[in-house]
Amino acid sequence: MTIMIEAIRSQLPAQTGPRYRRIALAICAAVDSGQLQSGDKLPTHRNLAEHLGVSVQTVSFAYAHAEQQGYVHGKVGSGTYVGHRQAEQQAEFLKPGSDTSDTLIDLSIASAIAGNIQQQAFSQTLQEIANSPEGTELITVVKPFAGLPRHRQAASRWLDQQGIEASADQICLCNGVTHGLMIALSSLVKPGGIVACEALVDHGLIALARTLNIKLEGVEIDAEGMVPEALEHLCQQRVPDALCLTPNLHNPTSATQSESRRQALAAVARHYGIAVVEDDIFGPLSDQKRRPIAAYLPDNSYYLSGFSKALASGLRLGYLVPPKGQLDAVVGRLRASSWMASPMTAEVASRWIDDGTASRLADWQRRTLLRRQQLAADILSGFDYLAAPNGPLIWLALPEAWRAESFISQARARGVSLTGAEPFVVGHQAAPHSIRISVSSATSEAALVEGLKRLTQLLQEQPPPLGEGIL
């Protein structure tokens, strides 16, 4: 397997374009040069990603593109294998300058819906800041590390709406929720330590775990998220150093935990003395306002909220509420990792909280998501999927005949970009036979409808035959 990885790596310097295209071209070149032979089994997505220093999703796109052109093919439950193909048959989309991303209907990114409402609000707020006495301060301030007092006070008011009672001096401002996750986990877990999490998690957490050199231990999930009995079973074998959870609109399944589920998980964490890191980035979108898990464990929880999923993707500001005894340690890591969160971003968010813009934008997101999910429900009627009424995602089970990689590749050939299950898998367990669809990343409702119609047509078709000469 190492020889195959080196064969692919050796071809990379000669390639150009985005990473996924360079890897796809390198695989094709290695086949054409004879370094990879027909029937050779390629490395797993995760293995090649680790050796090349890219994400699993990048490798998935690369394999899908190579498969579409016949250089490789996948076998259900077995892996990806080299097929037959010549260089002169190279696909147009793999050639430099042929990127068709502008024509794609993007249903792959879990983002906030973009609209004129955000642009107008942002433009107005920036003008107000420029004409205010605070404008100069925002571009010169370097302390306090946890954020300006007025920004932390606005944060306290926002968190109160999410069910978290936190005084301003207990809140730390971060450069997004992912930054807050890094601070919380690095405060709790030493290199080599274990963090329990859902068996499927946001791929950002997987990347973060690698960066921090900590191990994620996936715990069984169901329609409500993590199963308390499964967490209990893990703790009986070995108590993890921390527990990371997304109780609202879990990515990628859209599961939202019931009140009883939250209480049960909090009880297990309390019994074994496990600190909980609660990622509530989707919380403002949920139409089911329930107490955060942190409310049940105020002395041993790290609560995180932000705006990039609920208000505007570019508003990357996170609010981190650590246990009172851990504030100094968190501030120290905040300073070491970024000095302090961007005061300008914090000012925009604070003004939006205080003048009602934040609530107005969140309401707009919920209404628009509800409308988009209703459109999706009409189009996907009869197919097996999970979604929340106000959620940005759809977790679609594929028909048995389809392999996820092949379906994603064929969808992209028809102008629709999707995300498979593999990037969300913790450890080496098999990926679910599902794909994730984002209703929020489409540029318009018309684009969403068109993209979903293309997918339903594809779902009703049989997969294309394997390449010539494949046994």
Cβ 462 vs Cβ 242: under 8 Å = no
The helix or strand, by DSSP H or E, that contains position 276, with its residue range, turns out to be strand 275-279
Question: Helix, strand or coil for residue 260?
Answer: helix
Domain ranges (residues) in the chain: 1-84, 87-115+359-460, 119-355
pLDDT category of residue 81 using cuts at 50, 70 and 90: confident
119-355 belongs to which CATH class? alpha beta
The pLDDT value recorded for residue 68 is 66
| Peptide bond before residue 423 is cis, with ω within 30 degrees of 0 | no
Which tokens hold the place of 437? 């669809």
The pLDDT value recorded for residue 95 is 42
Q: Give the CA angle between residues 94, 96, 97 to the nearest 5°.
A: 110
N-term to C-term CA, the chain? 21
CA distance 205 to 245: 11
pLDDT category of residue 65 using cuts at 50, 70 and 90: confident
Is the per-residue pLDDT at 471 higher than 70? Answer: no
Model confidence pLDDT, tens digit, residues 313-343: 999 999 999 998 899 999 999 999 999 999 9
Instruction: List, in sequence order, the alpha helices (H) in 288-403.
Output: 327-338, 343-355, 357-379
Cβ 303 vs Cβ 185: under 8 Å = no
Burial readout 21-47 (b: 16 or more C-beta within 10 A, e: otherwise): bbbbbbbbbbbbeebbeeebebbbbbb
Q: Output the CATH code of domain 1-84.
A: 1.10.10.10
Q: Output the CATH code of domain 87-115+359-460.
A: 3.90.1150.10
DSSP assigned state of 169: G
Question: Helix, strand or coil for residue 214?
Answer: coil
Model confidence pLDDT, tens digit, residues 397-449: 999 999 888 899 899 989 999 999 989 999 888 889 999 999 999 999 999 99
pTM over 0.85: no
